[in-house]
Amino acid sequence: MEKDPNYPPAGALHRRVALAASWFVLVLSLLCYAAFLLKATSIAGVFPKAIPMAPATAGCFALLSFVLLLWQSRLPWKARAARAAAVLVLLVSAAVLLEQLQPGRQAGDIPLWKMSPFTAGLFIISAAGLLRVARIKTGPDHASLAASTVLMTLSSLILIGYLYGSPFFYGGTVIPVAFTTGLAFLALSAALFASDTESLLVTPFCGESLKAVLLRNFLPLTVGAVVLDGLLGLGGFALFGSRPALTALYAILAMAAAAWVVNRVSARVGDKVARAQVELEKANSDLAERKQDMEHLLYVTTHDLRGPLINIHGFARNLSEDFEKLREILKPAPLPEGTRTAVNELAGGSIHAGLNFILESERSMNQVINTLLKVSRLGQVEMRPELLDANAVLKNVADTLHYQLKEAGCEIKAGGLPHCKADAGALGHIFTNLLSNAVKYRDKSRKLEITVRGELSGGVTRYSVADNGLGIKESDLTSIWQFFFSGAVPDVEKGEGIGLPMIKRMVQKNSGRIWAESKEGAGSTFFVELPSE
């Protein structure tokens, strides 16, 4: 099946997310640094009266995002660059924290454009996560995952606080964190997640599964709904003047977005299912055609082989009879004793043994061909399911096997079998095979008893044929359904090994199933399930 370009594989999606998030952080940090140089506080803060991103913060973001972009390349020194950048950011962050811990410093005494201790703490988490990513060899790294999760959670809290007009860690004696800083940390956490190519949080979004498609569509919708609600809360009162009007607008927009996403996902999944259905139907058609060709080839081949075998059998018998006649003709002939002895040994000894070997081989080959013909004919037989009286079918089978059952001294216990929907000939063949096997593999030290039962359950009819015969080895319970398998049973002539496999095919062609339970030395029970309607 061809891959749909709308469903990126795991590695491709990881790389896309990492590149997009890293570029976003790099561009944002450079813009904020430019705003510092231009003294444009409003640009770096986004919201009116909001604090701007500090230049040291912008520098750390630029450095981390740059090495994350390098991480997506094939440069041999990218791991060393990532570790160096992480160590540098750790040193800067540690210096900020140490400065804040100096005696006499107040928690809110942070000049404008300067990195806050809380931001420094987030950078320490980011650098630790980058160090873990840079040392990954195989498999997901749980420490990197934990660092990225903490970073994403805290940055999300900062942004949600801004959106709802109550910034966390802002004002009073609490260290301020810029909105742009929270936004950059959120994108940085996404880049760290995606840089681990086996990230447990990114991998579920990858591939063509329905879960991945839903996650890729509904997660952005959920985030967008939260952001929209916050933005409406910040600026909507000036336009609408009341909270109910804002709530109504938010509900309409959210429902419209949800409907659009559902329609988009349904279209994609529907197209994929339709394509898969077409391919499945084509594959089934090809398989059925090839199966039919194989069955026809098997039938023609085995049928054509019978002619040469008949010739071999006939000529071998003729040769055997001719050599016997030759011996009789030579008996009265005046031959030297040595010559007569040699002729008798050839005609009645090695030649006779060789011809018998040819005839025995022909008989074995003929048996195999007959078996293959039966198998090929089964594939060509069309089943005609109909409602059947299983009691009548079983009685006909028992009447057909009357002398065989009588000779074995068999007693059949049956009665009240429920109906089923199957091909009449197939059901008769199934009962015939199971009863014949029970007779063949009976325990001659006790009277053979065969019990046939049936029950209806949930649109399925289940029949069981149980005997008290020799039983089947546990190791053979799966092999008995394979063509040409015949277990070694003392004092029992080895069979063709096609009876049970053939009735299994018949059961399957009638939308049923068959299995066996047995205990060696105690008997066997065969179960047959067929549709009841």
pLDDT at 514: 94
- DSSP letter string, 181-204: HHHHHHHHHHHHHHHSTT-TTTGG
As given in the structure block, the two tokens for residue 200 are 């447990």
Backbone angles phi, psi at 390, to 5 degrees: -65, -30
Could you state, in order of their start, the residue ranges of all structural domains in the chain?
Answer: 10-207, 209-380, 386-531
Chain centre to alpha carbon of residue 342: 72
pLDDT at 466: 93
pLDDT at 6: 44
pLDDT at 172: 43
CB 33 within 8 A of CB 180: no
The dihedral of CA 212, 215, 216, 218: what is its sign? positive
How many residues in the chain?
A: 533
Strand partners, 408: none
Work out the end-to-end distance of the chain between its first and last CA atoms, rounded to an integer number of angstroms: 37
pLDDT at 223: 63
Beta-carbon neighbour count of residue 372 at 10 Å? Answer: 19
What class, spelled out in words, does domain 386-531 have in CATH?
alpha beta
pLDDT at 525: 94
pLDDT at 435: 93
CA dist., res. 487 & res. 498, Å (int): 12
CA dist., res. 290 & res. 293, Å (int): 5
Nearest to 449 by CA among 417, 413, 397: 413
pLDDT at 388: 92
Contacts 24+ apart (CB under 8 A), 151-158: 151/122, 151/125, 151/126, 151/185, 151/188, 151/189, 151/192, 152/186, 152/189, 152/190, 152/193, 154/122, 154/185, 155/122, 155/182, 155/183, 155/185, 155/186, 155/188, 155/189, 156/186, 158/182, 158/185
CA dist., res. 400 & res. 428, Å (int): 10
pLDDT tens digits, residue range 299-348? 677 667 777 878 888 888 888 777 777 777 777 777 777 776 776 667 66
CA dist., res. 107 & res. 56, Å (int): 19
CA dist., res. 305 & res. 290, Å (int): 22
CB 194 within 8 A of CB 14: yes
CB 75 within 8 A of CB 198: no
Q: Is 402 exposed, middle or buried (0-12, 13-18, 19+ CB in 10 A)?
A: exposed
**At which residue do the structure tokens 């009638």 appear?**
510
- DSSP letter string, 191-238: HHHHHSTT-TTTGGGSSSSHHHHHHHHHHHHHHHHHHHHHHHHHHHHH
As given in the structure block, the two tokens for residue 445 are 């030290």
CA dist., res. 65 & res. 88, Å (int): 13
- DSSP letter string, 72-84: TS--TTHHHHHHH
Nearest to 78 by CA among 88, 68, 87, 86: 68
Beta-carbon neighbour count of residue 18 at 10 Å? Answer: 25
**At which residue do the structure tokens 């040193």 appear?**
91
As given in the structure block, the two tokens for residue 441 are 């593999």
**At which residue do the structure tokens 């929270």 appear?**
182
Residues 6+ apart with CB under 8 A from 432: 397, 400, 401
CA dist., res. 327 & res. 279, Å (int): 71
Where the chain has pLDDT below 70, the residues are 1-13, 41-50, 102-113, 135-142, 163-176, 196-221, 223-250, 295, 298-299, 302-303, 340, 343-345, 347-349, 375-380, 490-491
**Helix, strand, coil percentages, rounded to 5, for the chain:** 65, 10, 25
